[in-house]
């Protein structure tokens, strides 16, 4: 398995919406939010392209988390608003946006809500067309633990990998002593380590 670096990777944040957050009950909502914020900040700090998408914002799913709009105003303004297509990769506008952002990059960091619908399908589709996909499991969730377990098994059987925010940062950063390392340390401390034991 190839190591991900900031120069060969993109970040896809899928359907981190107010409503879908409410449906993801197998892990604390505060955990999902903090890890999602960490991913957004990490991508911005390291210059990793980020694509946002939402599904049916005017219905129960609701708007994307306000934190994403604050951290990533340009990406938020350019988000792909899907109208019911469950596999985001099958949405032509989204697929075009991802391919444009990726360029020659073939590594994908993916996170979203919910795993059992909105992550399992695009992760497999992107592996099938040649991308290496890692799903950040603590930046998403599912309506039940059973659903989450089956989703994880499915994307792993399809060739995707599972990671956590801390493991991912450790992979992207060669040394905490570098400029990028210092940026990453601050983000991880603020959004992850400082919250340990609080939810």
Q: Estimate to the nearest angstrom the gap between the alpha carbon of 44 and the chain centroid.
A: 13
Active-site amino acid positions: 118
Per-residue confidence (pLDDT) for residue 198, from 0 to 100: 82
Per-residue confidence (pLDDT) for residue 6, from 0 to 100: 97
Asked whether residue 184 is assigned to any structural domain, the reply reads: yes
Q: pTM of the entire structure? A: 0.96
**Which segments in the chain show pLDDT lower than 70?**
none
Burial (0-12, 13-18, 19+ Cβ within 10 Å), 110? buried
Asked whether residue 3 is assigned to any structural domain, the reply reads: no
Per-residue confidence (pLDDT) for residue 83, from 0 to 100: 94
Number of CB atoms found within 10 A of residue 3's CB: 10
Task: Quote the domain boundaries for residue 72.
Answer: 9-195
Asked whether residue 2 is assigned to any structural domain, the reply reads: no
Per-residue confidence (pLDDT) for residue 162, from 0 to 100: 99
We report the CATH number of the domain holding residue 68 as 3.40.50.850
Which H or E element spans position 35? Answer: helix 29-46
The answer to whether 188 and 153 have CB atoms below 8 angstroms apart is no
Contacts of 109 (CB under 8 A, 6+ apart): 4, 9, 10, 11, 12, 39, 48, 134, 136, 168
Asked whether residue 133 is assigned to any structural domain, the reply reads: yes
Asked whether residue 4 is assigned to any structural domain, the reply reads: no
How would you classify the pairing of strands 80-82 and 107-112? unpaired
Per-residue confidence (pLDDT) for residue 197, from 0 to 100: 83
């Amino acid at each position: 398995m190839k190591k991900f670096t900031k120069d060969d990777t993109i970040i896809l944040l899928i359907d981190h919406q107010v409503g879908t957050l409410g449906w993801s009950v197998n892990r604390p909502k505060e955990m999902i939010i903090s890890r999602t914020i960490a991913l957004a900040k990490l991508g911005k700090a390291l210059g990793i392209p980020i694509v946002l998408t939402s599904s049916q914002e005017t219905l129960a799913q609701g708007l994307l988390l306000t934190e994403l709009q604050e951290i990533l105003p340009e990406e938020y303004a350019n988000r792909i608003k899907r109208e019911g297509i469950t596999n985001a990769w099958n949405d032509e506008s989204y697929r075009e946006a991802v391919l444009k952002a990726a360029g020659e990059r073939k590594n994908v960091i993916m996170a979203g809500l919910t795993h059992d619908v909105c992550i399992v399908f695009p992760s497999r589709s992107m592996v099938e067309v040649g991308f290496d996909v890692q799903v950040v499991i603590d930046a998403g969730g599912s309506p039940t633990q059973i659903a989450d377990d089956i989703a994880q098994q499915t994307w792993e059987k399809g060739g995707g990998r599972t990671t956590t925010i801390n493991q991912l940062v450790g992979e992207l950063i060669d040394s905490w002593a570098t400029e990028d390392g210092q940026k990453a340390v601050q983000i991880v401390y603020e959004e992850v380590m400082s919250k340990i034991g609080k939810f």
